[in-house]
């Protein structure tokens, strides 16, 4: 007995060396599609006025409801005591602290509500009470500094109509700004007229409101949005800008002398540049482009507590970071650094601190706190800790290669989980949407499903091709005058680089993308037959018909040098860059996916592609999801999208049978409907 006791530690050590991990504890496992769809969505973090707690919204998959439902959570800034504050059947959003930190306002549609309303909840606990009973849905809420009322945006009520015939592009109601009393729920209209308030920010002293007005709430009028300033009661409205740029984020400086805003324009307010920071006097006058030589894309910006500094987040290519710029000297300081993307950033002047998610390859964006005084970001939430603990996640790295014209191009590469040096693997090329966007380091989303692809032995390649943001205006504007100039060549030179590195099997490659990424897929399959399979998600195939079909046109006009309707229209440019022009060249088996209610790249584009491929004998299928807009939202539709693409890749690249994943069965044993 004594001898056995002495031998026991040695026996345990031997067992640890030879037994599989599952015998000693749960081993990491590859992610399934369902695992990926069930990753929570954390957004909208809000710091308490005293800096001690924060609120955030957490959306989680509900298979019975067939959608994600969001609730509001609270946590101490030291990461302790996370608690779910709301549990409404249809969820809640937009939590906002009262100035004294004693109450929380949020948006919800509960009980007999016909529309979304404002609710108030004590931070000490208890039941929430409905504050508004507005005739239309309420949005974009803000507390006044005295805590006595809230501002909100709401559309005007629809007039009663005898007929249900829609007047196309005219059946809209303008959106205006209102105030509601916290004490008795009485409402006061702040703006009215034949225009819409797109967004607003109340000055920190509560005296003025910087806002963006447009002639209509339609997306296509976004280039007519201008910066305005008015008193808090709506009087004294002053228009500050007059241009054709797309502007947003207007905010009054703490001293009330300046208004900052972000616009995708140059100093002359010409359209189609990386977003940058502009300043304009609050009394009116000439604007100032703050950082004319900034090579990045500004995403959001806010004044510091004393107004001497502007904080902003920027896309820097495959990363996004937090920066500060001294307004007087224009000296820029980078506040964060890493292989990550900064998401959901906000600055809290009362606590003089930043809140943001850090999206990393192993963490989908837990919230971090960074005092404005400096230091390292401190992790607060632990929503995503389980991902790296439970799952095998792919290695992710930034790569660079030489484009066809000698320019340096950058992108992201995800390695197969079973990667071994010296072996070649199949490749899935994913091109981002936009195209004025970029793929950044991070966990990624369900629609790209890189975790599932790499688990099945694929490399995944995401090139930031010409036309992407974050690399300076020359890269972004490569599409101006000719959409497919260097962009598709960047994709193919990137593929050739991976083959030359001995990583990729050039005989087993697939191409996919959504929206702008779908446009690129449609171009690639007409340009080359090197891909064994493709998936076109909500992609344009005919730029001429697309111009009229889409709900937005302003970005397409610079691509081709005018509209297709004007006198002496540049029709040749539109047609030359339409994949449909060269559709007879396609031999690649291609599936097509689109939402039935997609206003951005409407179904007729996918129908044109499908019928052309079908007529020419190319293997194809068109999948149209009912009720879905440009980005699919229903869980079962998302599950279908990934399943049908995986089955396509497995068949055409790997010669393998694929078993579709099914939706989890909720309590009661019946699959969600």
Q: Which domains does the chain have, with CATH numbers?
A: 42-157+170-194 (2.120.10.30), 392-654 (3.40.50.1820)
The model's pTM is 0.93
Residues belonging to the chain: 673
557 secondary structure, DSSP code: H
Q: Which of 538, 552, 555 is nearest to 608 (CA)?
A: 538
Host H or E run for residue 460 = strand 459-464
User: How far is 525 from 520, CA to CA, in rounded Å?
Assistant: 9
Q: What are the distances in angstroms from CA 120 to CA 77, 86, 95, 123, 126?
A: 22, 11, 10, 10, 10
DSSP element (H, E) containing 85: none
Contacts of 189 (CB under 8 A, 6+ apart): 176, 177, 178, 234
Average pLDDT score over the chain: 94
Cα distance between residue 220 and residue 158, in whole Å: 21
350 by Cβ neighbours in 10 Å (0-12 / 13-18 / 19+) ranks as: middle
DSSP 407-422: -EEEEEEE--TT--TT
Nearest to 103 by CA among 121, 76, 87, 128: 121
Contact by Cβ (8 Å): 269, 244: yes
Q: Does residue 377 have a pLDDT over 70?
A: yes
Query: Could you give the CA distance from residue 510 to residue 649 in angstroms, rounded to a whole number?
Result: 7
Question: pLDDT digits over 545-588, tens only?
Answer: 999 999 999 989 999 999 999 999 999 999 999 999 999 999 99
| Orientation angle between helical segments 516-527 and 487-500, nearest 10 degrees | 70
pLDDT value at residue 667: 67
Pairing of strands 533-537, 459-464: unpaired
Asked whether residue 10 carries a pLDDT value surpassing 50, the answer given is no
Classify the phi-psi angles of 522: left when phi > 0, otherwise alpha if psi is within -120 to 50, otherwise beta: alpha
CB 471 within 8 A of CB 317: yes
pLDDT at 130 over 90: yes
CB atoms within 10 A of CB 545: 18
Query: What pLDDT sits at residue 673?
Result: 34
Q: What's the mean pLDDT in 116-122? A: 98
Write down the pLDDT at residue 25. Answer: 57
Average pLDDT value for residue range 314-343:
97
Classify 359 in phi/psi space as left (phi over 0), alpha (psi -120 to 50) or beta. beta
Residue 4 has pLDDT above 80, yes or no: no
What ranges make up the beta strands (E) of 144-223?
149-155, 175-181, 187-189, 196-202, 208-214
Is the pLDDT at 476 greater than 60? The verdict is yes
Report pLDDT digits (tens) over 612-668.
999 999 999 999 999 999 999 999 999 999 999 999 999 999 999 999 999 998 765
């Amino acid at each position: 007995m004594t001898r056995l006791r002495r031998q026991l530690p040695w026996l345990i050590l031997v067992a640890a060396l030879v037994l599989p991990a599952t015998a000693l504890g749960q081993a990491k496992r590859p992610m399934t599609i369902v695992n990926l769809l069930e990753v929570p969505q954390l957004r909208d973090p809000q710091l308490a006025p005293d800096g001690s707690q924060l609120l955030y919204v957490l959306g989680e998959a509900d298979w019975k409801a067939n959608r994600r439902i969001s609730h509001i959570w609270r946590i101490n800034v030291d990461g302790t005591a996370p608690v779910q504050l709301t549990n409404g059947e249809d969820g809640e959003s937009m939590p906002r602290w009262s100035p004294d930190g004693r109450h929380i306002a949020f948006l919800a549609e509960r009980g007999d509500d016909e529309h979304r309303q404002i609710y108030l909840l004590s931070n000490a606990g208890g039941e929430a009470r409905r504050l508004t009973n507005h005739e239309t849905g309420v949005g974009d809420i803000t507390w006044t500094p005295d805590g006595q009322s809230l501002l909100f945006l709401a559309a005007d009520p629809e007039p009663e109509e005898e007929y249900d015939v829609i007047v196309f592009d005219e059946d809209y109601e303008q959106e205006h700004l209102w105030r509601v009393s916290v004490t008795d729920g009485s409402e006061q209209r702040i703006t009215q007229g034949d225009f819409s308030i797109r967004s607003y920010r109340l000055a920190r002293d509560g005296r003025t409101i910087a806002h963006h007005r447009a002639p209509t709430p339609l997306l296509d009028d976004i280039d007519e949005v201008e910066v305005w300033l008015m008193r808090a009661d709506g009087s004294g409205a002053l228009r500050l800008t007059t241009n054709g740029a797309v502007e947003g984020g207007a905010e009054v400086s703490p001293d009330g002398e300046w208004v900052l805003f972000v616009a995708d324009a140059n100093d002359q307010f010409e359209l189609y540049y990386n977003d940058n920071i502009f300043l304009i006097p609050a009394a009116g006058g000439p604007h100032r482009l703050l950082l004319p030589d900034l090579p990045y894309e500004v995403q959001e910006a806010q004044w510091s507590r004393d107004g001497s500094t502007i904080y902003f987040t920027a896309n820097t290519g495959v990363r996004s970071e937090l920066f500060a710029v001294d307004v007087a000297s224009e000296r820029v300081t980078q506040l964060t650094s890493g292989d990550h993307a900064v998401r959901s950033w906000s600055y809290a002047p009362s606590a003089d601190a930043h809140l943001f998610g850090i999206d990393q390859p192993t963490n989908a964006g837990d919230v971090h706190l960074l005092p404005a005084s400096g230091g390292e970001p401190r992790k607060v939430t632990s929503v995503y800790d389980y991902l790296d603990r439970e799952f095998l996640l792919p290695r992710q790295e930034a790569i660079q290669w030489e484009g066809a014209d000698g320019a340096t191009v950058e992108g992201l590469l995800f390695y197969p989980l079973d990667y071994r040096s010296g072996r070649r693997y199949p490749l899935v090329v994913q091109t981002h949407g936009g195209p004025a966007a970029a793929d950044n380091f991070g966990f990624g989303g369900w629609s790209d499903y890189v975790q599932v692809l790499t688990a099945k032995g694929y490399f995944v390649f995401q090139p930031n091709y010409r036309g992407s943001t974050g690399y300076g205006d020359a890269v972004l504007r490569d599409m101006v005058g000719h959409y497919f100039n260097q962009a598709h060549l960047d994709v193919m030179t990137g593929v050739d680089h991976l083959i030359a590195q001995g990583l990729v099997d050039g005989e087993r490659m697939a191409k996919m993308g959504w929206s702008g990424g779908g446009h690129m897929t449609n171009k690639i399959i007409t340009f080359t037959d090197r891909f064994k399979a493709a998936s076109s998600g909500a992609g344009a195939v005919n730029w001429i018909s697309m111009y009229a079909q889409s709900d937005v046109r302003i970005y397409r006009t610079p691509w081709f040098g005018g509209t297709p309707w004007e006198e002496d229209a540049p029709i040749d440019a539109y047609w030359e860059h339409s994949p449909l022009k060269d559709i007879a060249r396609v031999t690649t088996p291609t599936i097509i996916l689109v939402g039935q209610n997609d206003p951005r790249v409407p179904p007729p584009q996918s129908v044109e592609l499908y019928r052309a491929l079908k007529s020419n004998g190319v293997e194809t299928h068109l999948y149209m999801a009912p009720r879905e807009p440009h980005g699919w939202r229903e869980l079962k539709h998302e599950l279908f999208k990934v399943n049908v693409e995986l089955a396509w890749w497995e068949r055409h690249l790997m010669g393998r049978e694929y078993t579709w994943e099914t939706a989890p069965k909720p309590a009661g044993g019946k699959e969600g409907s």
